[in-house]
Chains A and B, each alone.
Chain A
Amino acid sequence: MSVQPLSPARLAAALDTTGLPYQRGPAGEFVVSDKHLFLVLEGDTEGKLQLRGMWRAVIEQDEDFSQAAAMVLDCCAHRHGPKAYLLETEAGHRLGAECAAYSASGFSTEQLENFVQTSLAMVAGFLQEAQGALPHLTPGGGEEPANKGESK
């Protein structure tokens, strides 16, 4: 199966294989969300394919922050993915995670579906683990996770 450039239609088809309902964001990104998580899938033909997610809970207490930071370090050091991090916001910290692949050479359909399915499992799985480890933290907000800007 040969590789082809990314396109919104191909991303949508790959996301369809997961059976998850999604919406399109203002920049054309694909958004999967529920009460606890935001997940965003987006890509271009110049180098960027990313699935990122954020737990809606806001981390305010030092003890919770320490536990979340330990989970982030363990994830980054011992797993193949996702990349986990803590984002500072006005309300407190939020836990985020993401997977990315270089897209300039294109993808086969199998590669694209594998990326979407594996990344969803990694990102959502990590954030759900955090939810299980810090069950007293409740969803705190509704905005979509910020685009992290320029790719490197």
Chain B
Amino acid sequence: MTWWKAAQAKENPAPVDLERVGQVLSAQGFDMNQAADQEVLGAHFDDILVTFRLDAQGRFLTVSGTESVPFSDPQYLGFMAGAANTWNTSTFFGTAYLGTSLGERGQQLDLTVDHVTDCAPGLTTAQLCDTLEMGITVCVEGVRTLLGQYENATNPPAEA
């Protein structure tokens, strides 16, 4: 039994802040970076950037995975929107969506998967561990799925 499971029975839900999130992630062995504004934690998991942030009211905890790909041909936008929608209809956790941004190499398509938890009534340590673990897993898997769809669309395998 892991330490947070052992603590669960006696623990009541408590408010969530970024310091607590960082403590839980550190206890799970993850080496996190904190942004200069102190409002976002982040780390790479399997080369996917995953961030952890709370909204201004401290209510919604968002775990977010993002990967950006070149966006040179708008014809792929509809295809990728369909891929994100398919992810959203076929999975229980995680919300996939697309965005565009300007990167070092020009216009890019941002492939993002979010896992949001409502922390209004607080979370126990076990619940916080569970949702962070779920968020990391879902975000990395979701972004990898979208990346695979993008690569298949832009570099279709040669026919035998």
Interface residues of chain A, those whose CB is within 8 Å of chain B, are: 1-3, 48, 50, 69, 72-73, 76-77, 80-81, 83-87, 96, 100-102, 104-105, 108, 110-111, 114-115, 118, 148-152
Residues of A within 8 A of B11 (CB): 2-3
**Cβ–Cβ contact A105 & B88, under 8 A:** no
**Cβ–Cβ contact B8 & A105, under 8 A:** yes
**Cβ–Cβ contact A72 & B93, under 8 A:** no
Closest to B86 in A: A85
Minimum CB–CB distance for A146 against chain B, Å: 10
Measured in the bound complex, the distance between the Cα atoms of B82 and A72 in whole Å is: 11
Residues of A within 8 A of B156 (CB): none
**Cβ–Cβ contact B96 & A81, under 8 A:** no
Residues of B within 8 A of A1 (CB): 12-13
**Cβ–Cβ contact A50 & B88, under 8 A:** no
Interface residues of chain B, those whose CB is within 8 Å of chain A, are: 8-13, 55, 60, 62, 81, 84-85, 88-99, 112, 114, 116-118, 120-122, 124, 126-127, 130-131, 134, 138, 141
Closest to B142 in A: A152
**Cβ–Cβ contact A108 & B93, under 8 A:** no
- What would be 14 A-B contacts, judged by CB atoms less than 8 Å apart? A1-B12, A2-B9, A3-B12, A3-B126, A76-B88, A76-B95, A77-B98, A80-B60, A80-B118, A81-B118, A85-B88, A101-B117, A102-B130, A149-B90
User: Which of A110, A115, A152 contacts B92 (CB under 8 A)?
Assistant: A152
